[in-house]
């Protein structure tokens, strides 16, 4: 079970992250499940909505040790294998990349926490709708990671380098008001109504001609050449430095991580 469910409602293909017991954190099968769900879009669909329901969008990477991805990271660290780390980051990007390869517009309908990898899911979408309950953060450096699944690249582009730096380097959370002021979300709605608002927008999206829409999306999604690859490379060294393992251990032991000063 990937913890990802799908439903066609009108012309909208709804991809639902459904792991409430882990606050919709994404383990390996959920990352893979997002790609599979997006690729399974029926012919009748004219937009994709990704949602976590009314309580939480996603708590990001599943940080529990039964997530096979963390075991793979652990093995790569033990063998100091940069190629294996690169493979993991590229694979994560491949999973979310389905949202940017989709031939129809994609909407993130966000309620509650939208953190780390969860925010990266939302950043892969063309449009973000947030309810009053939404909270955002990109705390990867606190966990020994770089936000390397599109997070750094897309945040920079969407809200500018200063605000992206503030979010990533502080690890602080911002509410829906601040996210809207900063341009991190394009539409606001009352708590509990993000999916309804996204379904409303999807009706207008369905009025566009399919070929014109597809080619518009190609232009809108274009990234500076090399940006995503640079981000992948920047993500390798911190993982091999083992900081992520200290972060996971500290999390389990409910203490603050003890970072070792080391060369970057």
Candidate segments 38-46, 52-60, 213-221, 252-260, binder of ligand COA by CB under 6 A: 52-60
| CB of 234 vs ligand COA, minimal distance in Å | 16
* CB closer to ligand COA, 24 vs 47: 24
Residue ranges in the chain assigned as alpha helix (H): 28-39, 68-78, 82-101, 117-123, 151-159, 161-170, 176-182, 194-205, 210-221, 227-240, 243-252
46 versus 142: smaller Cβ distance to ligand COA: 142
- The order of strands in the sheet holding 113-115 is 113-115, 135-137, 174-175
Between CA 69 and CA 75 the distance in angstroms is 10
Burial 26-53 (b: 16+ CB within 10 A, else e): bbbbbbbbbbebbeebeeebbbbbbbbb
Nearest Cα residue to 132 out of 209, 185, 206: 185
Contact between 60 and ligand COA by CB under 6 A: the answer reads yes
The two tokens of residue 62 are 């599943």
Beta bridge partners of 261: none
Q: How far is it, in rounded angstroms, from Cα 5 to Cα 16?
A: 5
Rule CB under 6 A: is residue 59 a binding residue for ligand COA? Answer: yes
List the x/- string, 138-177, binding to ligand COA by CB under 6 A. -xx--x----------------------------------
Q: Which stretch binds ligand COA (CB under 6 A): 2-10, 58-66, 71-79, 96-104?
A: 58-66
User: Which residue's CB is nearer to ligand COA, number 113 or number 150?
Assistant: 113
Is residue 70 close enough to count as binding ligand COA by CB under 6 A?
no
User: Which CB sits closer to ligand COA, 80 or 169?
Assistant: 169
β-pair partners for 13: 8, 48
CA-to-CA distance for 118 and 109, rounded, in angstroms?
Answer: 12
Binding flag, residue 64, ligand COA (CB under 6 A): yes
Query: Residues touching ligand COA: how many (CB under 6 A)?
Result: 17
CB of 179 to ligand COA, least distance (A): 16
Name which position in 12, 14, 38, 61 contacts ligand COA (CB under 6 A): 61
Contact residues for ligand COA, defined by CB under 6 A: 22-23, 25, 56, 59-64, 113, 115-117, 139-140, 143
């Amino acid at each position: 079970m990937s913890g990802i469910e799908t439903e066609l409602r009108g012309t909208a293909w709804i991809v639902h992250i459904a792991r409430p017991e882990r606050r919709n954190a994404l383990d390996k099968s959920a990352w893979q499940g997002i790609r599979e769900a997006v690729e399974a879009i029926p012919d009748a669909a004219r937009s994709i909505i990704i949602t976590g329901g009314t309580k939480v969008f996603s708590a990001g990477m599943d940080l529990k040790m039964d997530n096979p991805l963390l075991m793979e990271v652990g093995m790569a660290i033990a063998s100091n294998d940069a190629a294996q780390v690169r493979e993991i980051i590229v694979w994560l990007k491949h999973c979310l990349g389905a949202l940017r390869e989709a031939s129809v517009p994609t909407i993130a309908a966000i309620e509650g926490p939208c953190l780390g990898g969860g925010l990266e899911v939302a950043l892969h979408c063309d449009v973000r709708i947030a309810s009053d309950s939404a909270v955002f953060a990109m705390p990867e450096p606190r966990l020994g990671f770089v936000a390397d699944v599109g997070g750094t690249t897309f945040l920079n582009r969407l809200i500018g380098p200063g605000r992206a730096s503030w979010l990533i380097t502080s690890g602080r959370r911002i509410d829906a008001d601040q996210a809207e002021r900063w341009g991190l979300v394009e539409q606001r709605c009352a708590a509990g109504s993000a999916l309804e608002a996204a379904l409303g927008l999807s009706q207008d999206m369905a009025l566009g001609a399919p070929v014109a829409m597809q080619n518009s999306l190609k232009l809108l999604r274009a990234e500076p050449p090399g940006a995503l690859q640079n981000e992948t490379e920047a993500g390798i060294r911190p993982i091999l430095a083992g900081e992520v393992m200290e972060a996971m251990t500290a999390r389990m032991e409910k203490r603050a991580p003890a970072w070792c000063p080391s060369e970057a």
